[in-house]
Every structure is written in structure tokens, then in C-alpha cells.
Amino acid sequence: MGVNLAFGTGLANNRSMSTALNQLDTTIQVVTPENIAFDYRVAGPFRRLPAFLLDVAIRIAAFFLIGLIISFFAGAGGSGLAVAVILIGWFVSEWFYGGLFETYWNGQTPGKRIMGLRVLTTDGQPINGLQAVMRNVFRTADMYPMLSIQILGDLPPAYIFPTFFAGLAVMACNRQFQRVGDLVCGTLVVIEEKPWLTEVAKAEDPRTAALAELLPTDFRVSRSMAQTLSSYVERRRYFTPARRREIAGHLGEPLLQRFGLPSDTSYDLLLCALYHRTFISDRPEESPQRESRSQHDQPVSSGLSEGSSP
């Protein structure tokens, strides 16, 4: 679930990022309904160009392979059919390749996934299908002005070579590097660190699972809370214990009161436990076991207090 988010005022590591990188990419801050601020690193044009070229290369390779297969099975007379299929397929992919992938891959195309980029809404939420399709349809506006094929020699005029000057000009005029389609659809492209996306974070402290068993079985997290939990657990290893308490307290303190847990329970441990319960443990099937444990186990406030937090 995670995206490249930094809590609050950000990490010292992020502040020490190289000057050159900061000139190409910028950071915006979004506040979730849980009142926790995240910093998103927005991808500049030089981070997005390789992803775009990779997607173009993937499409070319796919249609070349399709053409070879059709020609092989149709024989000598299949070349015309192969050309027709490629032209129709290219037209469809030109308009819907990015939209379909970004709809079903949560804001990513193959090129964006390889380059660690993702499309989000301007308030940090996942994009919907309409936004995914429309932002790719409006890419045509970014391509202008077009150059004629005459630049290759003595040929009839045909304006088919995009310059992308319009898109670059629009991106240069706003801090979030939004092109025309992004501005129309309310989206932006952010940078992700792929190692944080490949697997669910593992609990380091054995008390996490124990505390997860004490949480109410009927409590369900919202989408924004799930994103907050995921981002916190993935980034917490970079925080000092004091910083963990400060950040986790925004969400941990009201949850502590809601769950009726001891007041000295670690906010950090509570968020890790809720993350464990949400993403790792089997919730509905284990409810009888949890109820049994909560009835027979004694309060463990001293074991879950902030002083004993890892």
C-alpha cells in the first residue's frame, strides 16, 4: 500500500537530499483526515520521461510481436492483416493504454512501475477510472506543436512528430509539475521507493501481535486510516523513540481512549498492533479466540508502556 511519504516536517535524510535532485523534483504536503501530514515527492519531467519512453517501447514491442504472429499463421497474405491489426491496436492503445493500466494498477503503467512512479489525486488519494482515462486523453494537448515528416526529407507534409513543448511549458508553470491532463483531472505524479511496496512490513516486536489480540474485533479502519498506518509502520524505523511518540500520538491517543487500553500504552506499539490486525492477522475468523484472550488475559500496561517501546 505504501507510497513515498514523510511524516510531519519530514526526515533529516530527506532534508539532506542533493540540491540537484531538489531542483528537478519538489515536495508537497497533504494532511489526512487523521490530522497527520505527509510529504509527497512530486516527479519532475526528467523523472517521468524514462517511464513514458518505456511504455512506448513496450507498446512497440507488443505490436511487433503481434504482427509477426499474424504473418506467420496467415502466410504471405497475412501482411496486410497484420498491418491493419497493428494500426487499429496502436490507435486503441494510444488512447487507452495508460488509462486502463492506471485504473487497474492503482495509478501505474508498466513504465511508471519500473521507474517507481505513481499517479495520485492532488489530495493524496488513489485516482479513479475516469481520471486515469481522461489524463491520458489530454496527453495529446501536451504533444503540440507537431513537426512535419518533411524534416526527414522531400516528403509530403504530415505533422506527426510531437515536440511536447506545450506539456513542458505547463509543467514548468506549476510547483506540482502537472501537465494539462493532470490539471484538468486533479492528479499529480509522485515518486515511490519500490522496496516499501513489495511486501507487508513485518512486526519487529513480539508484543505487537499480543496487543493486536486485545483490539476490538468489530473495529474497521477507513481507507485513509489504512494508508496512514501503512505509511507510519514503513517509515518508523527512521524515527527516534521521541519522534515516534510525537507522530503516533496524533492517531494513537484517541484510539487509546476508544479501545479502553491503559493510558501508558505506547502509541507506537498501538499503531503497529492495529497495522498487524489490519494487514496481517486473520480478522473475522479469529474473533472467538480474541474474545477468549481478552476475557482471560490480565492487563499488560507495564509491558506495553512507552518506556518499554522498542
Q: Is the pTM of this model over 0.75?
A: no
CB atoms < 10 A from the CB of 47, how many? 20
Written as one letter, the residue type at 61 is: A
In this prediction, residue 208 carries a pLDDT of 85
Helix (H/G/I), strand (E/B), else coil: 128: coil
In this prediction, residue 223 carries a pLDDT of 73
Give the model confidence (pLDDT) of 155-182 as tens digits.
777 777 888 899 899 999 988 899 999 9
Residue 205 · residue 310 · CB < 8 Å? yes
Residue 44 · residue 25 · CB < 8 Å? yes
Q: Kindly tell me if the per-residue pLDDT of 17 is higher than 60.
A: no
Q: Do β-strands 146-148 and 26-31 pair in parallel, antiparallel, or remain unpaired? A: unpaired
Q: Kindly tell me if the per-residue pLDDT of 51 is higher than 90.
A: yes
Residue 103 · residue 93 · CB < 8 Å? no
Per-residue confidence at 288, pLDDT binned at 50, 70, 90? very low
Grid cell 487497474 is found at 104
User: Cα dihedral sign for 208, 210, 215, 218?
Assistant: positive
Higher pLDDT, 235 or 23: 235
- Give percent of the chain above pLDDT 70: 73
Comparing CA positions, the residue from 222, 198, 215 lying closest to residue 276 is: 215
Burial of 284 per CB tally in 10 Å (0-12, 13-18, 19+): exposed
User: Cα dihedral sign for 63, 66, 68, 74?
Assistant: negative
Q: Kindly tell me if the per-residue pLDDT of 138 is higher than 70.
A: yes
Give the model confidence (pLDDT) of 183-216 as tens digits.
999 999 998 754 433 345 555 677 888 888 888 8
Q: Do β-strands 5-7 and 37-42 pair in parallel, antiparallel, or remain unpaired? A: antiparallel
Grid cell 505504501 is found at 2
Q: Identify the H or E element spanning 254.
A: helix 241-259
Q: Identify the H or E element spanning 137.
A: helix 129-137
Grid cell 497484420 is found at 82
Per-residue confidence at 23, pLDDT binned at 50, 70, 90? very low
Q: Across the chain, how many H-helices and E-strands are there? A: 14, 7
Written as one letter, the residue type at 98 is: G
Rounded mean pLDDT, 285-291: 41
Residue 112 · residue 51 · CB < 8 Å? yes
In this prediction, residue 307 carries a pLDDT of 52
What gap in Å lies between CA 172 and CA 282, rounded to an integer? 48
Quickly list DSSP for 202-231.
PP-STHHHHHHHHS-TT----HHHHHHHHH
Q: How many residues does the chain have?
A: 310
